[in-house]
Structure 1
Amino acid sequence: MRVFRRSGEVRTRTEPPLGFTDHDSRTHFSDVAGLDHIVAELRDLVDYVSDPGRFERLNARPPRGILLHGEPGCGKTLLARALAAEINVPFYFVSATSFVERFVGLGASRVREVFENAAADAPCIVFLDELDAAGRRRSDGDGDREFDHTLNQLLVDLDGFFSAPGVVTLAATNRPELLDPALIRPGRFDRKIRVPLPDLDGRLAVLRLHAATRPGAADLDWATVAAKTEGRSPAELANLVNEAALLAVRARCEAVRWVHVELALERMDAWDVVH
């Protein structure tokens, strides 16, 4: 588990067993392209911790949990990293796979440890990546008892009745259909946000964002590239721009040219054939 904190913030508590690392995230909402509507949803959390009185005057409580779901590479973890930089509270980054253990009681104790430390740091954000690893739907027959203990502990700690005030949970999964219904009900995850593949305008925004840090020749037309990359994720588009830059370096060019982008597109298509 990792904790993201603002630079200069001092922690006086003893390091917990899972191991915490202070990290100053350099990714902000301005570094997220094509997902403006989702950024707007997450700004509720930023606004709440910066000015909770505005919410309290209307008796409006922020969502206790937000579930981000969508295809791999669409920006779920990127959004969490950006939130870490935007919000001025401790940010706990936890992979749900770290809860999955075969030893009796260990998975449940790790869940308790995360939320106990988060409660001591409240207000704070807990980000659970790959939630389906620990929150998959329980079977009707004899299941994995240790897995059930871990999931039950997670249900208890996420429940609005038992959870500590000021602890907001953000989670991500590529497979929301695998999650247990009890886990994703309101009160545990009040808001479920699908992170979609970018549309034409979104793809163009992503391409321009990553191209902005690389010298480009006058013949580059990212609008044409956006039109040719329908169905591509932001991660694939970022890799495309970087691949074009690597090809320009190999050709000893001072700027990325259209020929390098075309070669990068061919490589992307060839990779699809391999898979």
Structure 2
Amino acid sequence: MSDMAKNLILWLVIAVVLMSVFQSFGPSESNGRRVDYSTFMSELTQDQVREARINGREINVTKKDSNKYTTYIPVNDPKLLDTLLTKNVKVVGEPPEEPSLLASIFISWFPMLLLIGVWIFFMRQMQGGGGKGAMSFGKSKARMLTEDQIKTTFADVAG
């Protein structure tokens, strides 16, 4: 395989890994539509809410007509839980999502692996050219001629 093909494959693999990492850290897709908090509170007072799944500041709401939407608590509302319980709404608390083990290992090791990769890249670049190595600039390519080798003189090549 040629060097250009190897480099292209390497860059494609790096791009795919980076895109998958950024995708895993991006915002998760929530089911349903987004509704503002005041609309949620008005529907709650009108007894239209059947279930509320609370995950941090996010609330996934299921209405009594089975419609679903997501809302966010703008400020810490201490009366929200009391209101939900007095309206006989099923309240489900969910733990916040934590990054996967693979993602946390990747985050901690990525800077070191990046530095090692850059170092290897530069070492390979220095080996290119005439020398076959980083410290080969002083080596001579001269050869000793012996008597039995054919000698070409100026008279042989002059026109």
Is TM (by shorter chain) over 0.5? no
**Structure with larger RCO (C-alpha < 8 A, sep 6+):** 1
- Which is higher, the Rg of structure 1 or of structure 2? 2
Of Structure 1 and Structure 2, which has the larger fraction of its residues in strand?
Answer: 2
Q: TM-score, normalised by structure 1?
A: 0.21
